[in-house]
């Protein structure tokens, strides 16, 4: 690809599994990945593979007897070592041209595209994604690499400045330094790849601490970057417990930035820890944090109720509701509530739950038994507060961590399940007197990530654009499925720093602007 003109960015197409050839190819990938399960993986710092005294087993949430991989765990000592060696590598990596850095991303994207089904198959086994959800995750990872590579080339070009006579001026975006990247398990490839490659292509080095629920997918990406020849130490792999490891990475004086996606509580803890200036620290650390949501879909009395029911259903229960963008609240104008619920419940009956290795299952397991227990607590709490379980609400934890899609009707706007992020397939349905009240309820949480409105009334749609306070608002469509380049993603309030991943502003978070001005005559 070197020396060739880079084409305009286009999103990676999703796989059509109704085609026999695609189905067979995915089944082949599942068998290949299954044959590779159970291997041991190392801590990797500056290219060195390290065995430690502690290990973690990653288990299949559909079948706890199946070990996905065994991982040696880093501790605070290794975290500090990784940061320090990554800092040394940064001094050289920052001098590599943006064009060459972008080529690493383009090469990695090309290889991932060829092995797309293998990467997706790892997600089916390790985090319980369906074929369709896993395929979309891998496609998004490819998109991030292609998009951020092109973005780095744009950032490296001449930036528009006001011209002054007898003076030459230029603005350059230069890298920050060493970053700690702490991704989540729910988009274990896409978000990890996006945060990591954005930092790397901008000229930074990275210490990657994967989620303990999805380290196998993380190491497969690490191995891919090794395969494309990324210099040792630019990317370092340090699996370990979130509490001690996260604090060590965040607090080290050489850490320049932290990119995190996860819960509100952990994100706020990282932000606080990063704000404490350490001995020898020369900068204010930058925190890029995306922390969750309590996302609402408003169903207006002038909505197409069939489309609204479909949008709510798939927004709420895609990947078991384990998306920060998932619809967890349907706010329905009361005059159409009964009719809407009838349609929603009819559609909910079509959803199948089971091991996602079988493509017939729309929903797989939730990530682990601890999460399942939390979801059952919220369901019980909803009943205590007057909610009515009209669908689902039952678990099956005999082999894996399975929960039926759960719909709770007659939820009040300030009830617990209306306010707190559950991160599972639990949908609260709230009645609103009218559209005005629906908008008011939609804005009544501490979050502000995604939202949607179904209405045929153009004036109401315009009001939503102005008044619905979320980072990503969708109109007459579901509130999940942001596409790189088309829907820069990030939210307001306690949903995070509104990073707008997959947008033109994102690389700015991993760079700093330097201006030089030269007198010419």
Known catalytic residues? 290, 324
464 touches 484 (CB < 8 A): no
Q: State the Cα–Cα distance between residues 56 and 178, nearest whole angstrom.
A: 26
Q: How far is CA 259 from the centre of its chain?
A: 12
Nearest Cα to 93, choosing from 183, 193, 206? 206
Tokens 């080339």 label which residue?
153
For the sheet containing 55-60, what is the strand order?
Answer: 39-41, 63-72, 55-60
Show the CA angle centred on residue 438, arms to residues 493 and 479, nearest 5°.
Answer: 60
Nearest Cα to 413, choosing from 384, 390, 385? 385
- Return the DSSP state at 474: E
Pairing of the two strands 55-60 and 63-72 = antiparallel
Nearest Cα to 177, choosing from 201, 209, 205, 200? 205
408 touches 379 (CB < 8 A): yes
Q: Is the dihedral of CA 363, 222, 288, 277 positive or negative?
A: positive
312: its two tokens: 């709510």
Residues near 205 by Cβ (< 8 Å), separated by ≥ 6?
A: 86, 87, 89, 90, 93, 177, 178, 179, 233, 234, 235, 236
Q: Where are the alpha helices (DSSP H) in 458-504?
A: 458-467
Q: What is the 3-state secondary structure (H, E, C) of 424-440?
A: CCEEEEEEECCHHHHHH
What angle separates helix 458-467 from helix 435-442, to the nearest 10 degrees? 20
Is 160 in a helix, a strand, or coil? coil
Q: State the Cα–Cα distance between residues 477 and 460, nearest whole angstrom.
A: 15
Residues near 370 by Cβ (< 8 Å), separated by ≥ 6?
A: none
224 touches 111 (CB < 8 A): yes
Residue 335, burial from CB neighbour count under 10 angstroms (0-12, 13-18, 19+): middle
Q: Longest Cα pair distance anywhere in the chain, in angstroms?
A: 80
DSSP assignment of 388-405 equals EEEE---EE-SSS-EE--
82 touches 245 (CB < 8 A): no
Is 290 in a helix, a strand, or coil? strand
């Amino acid at each position: 690809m070197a020396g060739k003109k880079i084409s305009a960015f286009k999103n990676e197409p999703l796989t059509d599994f109704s085609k026999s050839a695609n189905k067979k190819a995915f089944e082949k990938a599942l068998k290949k990945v299954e044959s590779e399960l159970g291997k041991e993986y190392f801590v990797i710092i500056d290219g060195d593979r390290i065995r430690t005294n502690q290990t973690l087993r990653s288990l299949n949430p559909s079948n706890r007897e199946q070990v996905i991989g065994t991982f040696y765990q880093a501790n605070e000592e290794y975290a500090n070592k990784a940061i320090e060696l990554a800092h040394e590598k940064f001094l050289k990596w920052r001098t590599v041209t943006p064009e060459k850095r972008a080529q690493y991303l383009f090469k990695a994207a090309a290889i991932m595209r060829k092995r797309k089904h293998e990467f997706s198959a790892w997600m089916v086994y390790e985090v319980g994604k369906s074929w369709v959800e896993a395929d979309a995750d891998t496609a998004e990872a490819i998109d991030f690499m292609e998009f951020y590579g092109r973005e780095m080339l744009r950032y490296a070009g001449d930036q528009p400045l006001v011209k002054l006579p007898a003076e030459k001026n230029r603005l350059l975006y230069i890298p920050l330094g060493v970053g700690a990247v702490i991704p989540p398990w729910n988009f274990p490839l896409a978000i990890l790849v996006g945060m990591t490659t954005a930092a790397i292509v901008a000229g930074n080095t990275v210490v990657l601490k994967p989620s303990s629920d999805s380290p196998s997918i993380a190491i497969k990406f690490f191995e891919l970057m090794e395969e494309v020849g990324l210099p040792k130490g630019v990317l370092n792999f340090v699996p370990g417990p979130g509490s001690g490891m996260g604090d060590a990475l965040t607090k080290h004086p050489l850490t320049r930035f932290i990119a995190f996606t996860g819960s509100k509580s952990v994100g706020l803890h990282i932000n606080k820890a990063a704000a404490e200036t350490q001995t020898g620290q020369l900068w204010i650390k930058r925190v890029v944090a995306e922390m969750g949501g309590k996302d609402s879909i408003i169903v207006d009395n002038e909505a197409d109720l069939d489309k609204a029911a479909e949008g709510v259903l798939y927004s709420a229960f895609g990947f078991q509701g384990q998306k920060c963008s998932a619809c967890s609240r349907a706010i329905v104008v009361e005059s159409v509530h009964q009719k809407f619920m009838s349609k929603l419940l009819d559609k909910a009956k079509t959803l199948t739950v089971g091991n996602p290795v079988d493509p017939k299952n729309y929903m797989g397991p939730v990530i682990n038994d601890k999460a399942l227990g939390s979801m059952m607590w919220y369901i019980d709490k909803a009943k205590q507060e007057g909610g009515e379980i009209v669908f689902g609400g039952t678990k099956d934890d005999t082999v894996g961590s399975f929960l039926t899609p759960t719909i709770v009707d007659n939820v009040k706007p300030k009830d617990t399940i209306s306010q707190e992020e559950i991160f599972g397939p639990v949908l609260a349905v709230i009645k609103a007197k009218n559209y005005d009240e629906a908008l008011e309820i939609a804005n009544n949480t501490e979050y502000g990530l995604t939202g949607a409105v179904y209405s045929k009334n153009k004036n109401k749609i315009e009001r939503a654009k102005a008044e619905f306070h979320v980072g990503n608002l969708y109109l007459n469509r579901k509130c999940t499925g942001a596409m790189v380049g088309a829907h820069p993603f990030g939210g307001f309030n306690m949903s995070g720093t509104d990073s707008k991943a997959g947008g033109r502003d994102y690389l700015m978070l991993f760079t700093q602007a330097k201006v030089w001005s030269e007198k010419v005559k």
